[in-house]
Amino acid sequence: MVAERLDWRTIQEKEHPAYSPGEPMHALAIAYYKRYKMEIDLAGLPAPSWPEGFRCLAWHEQLLEDHTQTLAQAFEGSPDTIVFPSLGSVTGCRGLMQEIARRKAFIPEATWLVLGPDGPCGTVQALRERGVIGAIQNIGIVPRWRRRGLARNLLLQSLRGMYASGLGRAMLEVTATNETAVGLYLRMGFRRSKVVYKAVPAFTLTPEAGSAHPVLYV
């Protein structure tokens, strides 16, 4: 994951408006996470085909807590909780879900909960970007039910919901090191359209910290 080390002063000068060169003070280090933007055409996608014992529930505000709990379980321990700290706790996930669901751009037709033999086990949400493109927000399947094709089906369900709501194209962003997710999206027909870097505060560095350097993650 760690691919390159950078001089922390270079990072500070570029990225931290409060930094003054040479000033002996605490400095905020920034780590950069490489992410792919991926896109897909919505026309002609196959219908989902749920394995026996699994089905999905359309968005309803009374399901917000089920989405919240499922999101938190699915992302527990994932590197994405460093990139997006809200994903790392139930409280953070609840805040995210509330924020997504109250947005004007929210697409209820593309927001689904998967129900399995022992309750909710997958979630996906979507927003309209720039009015014309559907943007998958967070897709997650709880660890116990992975590698059964649930994420593929859930994505198809969501993408078809976007299409039914009048959109022609969808996009998502994925951390480059999340090979399972990147592979899944590529096999489904998503194509990389852009590389972006998400800056994340890494740690506080003092001049006494000696050789500690912030790191660029790719």
Ligand X SMILES: CC(C)(COP(=O)(O)OP(=O)(O)OC[C@H]1O[C@@H](n2cnc3c(N)ncnc32)[C@H](O)[C@@H]1OP(=O)(O)O)[C@@H](O)C(=O)NCCC(=O)NCCS
Question: Which spans of this chain sit near ligand X (rule: CB under 6 A)?
Answer: 74-75, 78, 80, 139-141, 146-152, 174, 178, 180-181, 183-184
To the nearest whole angstrom, how small is the minimum distance from the Cβ of residue 187 to ligand X? 7
We find the least distance from the C-beta atom of residue 136 to ligand X, in angstroms, to be 8
CA-closest candidate to residue 114, choices 96, 140, 138: 140
Which of 48, 38, 46, 44 shows the shortest CA–CA distance to 148? 48
Q: Considering the complex, what minimum distance in angstroms separates the CB of residue 21 from ligand X?
A: 38
- Give the nearer residue to ligand X in terms of CB position, either 12 or 125: 125
In the complex, minimum distance from the CB of residue 149 to ligand X, in angstroms, rounded to a whole number: 4
Nearer to ligand X, 11 or 71 (CB): 71
Nearest CA to 58 out of 129, 140, 123, 4 is that of 123
Q: How far apart are CA 127 and CA 47, in angstroms?
A: 21
Nearer to ligand X, 79 or 207 (CB): 79
Nearer to ligand X, 196 or 212 (CB): 196
Q: What does residue 16 show for φ and ψ, rounded to 5 degrees?
A: -115, 105
Please choose, from the candidates 150, 89, 146, the residue with its C-alpha nearest in 3D space to the C-alpha of residue 124: 150
Residue whose tokens read 């399947």: 141
31 vs 150, beta carbon nearer ligand X:
150
Q: How far apart are alpha carbons 108 and 169 in whole angstroms?
A: 16
What the block records as the tokens of 57 is: 């529930």
CB of 150 to ligand X, least distance (A): 4
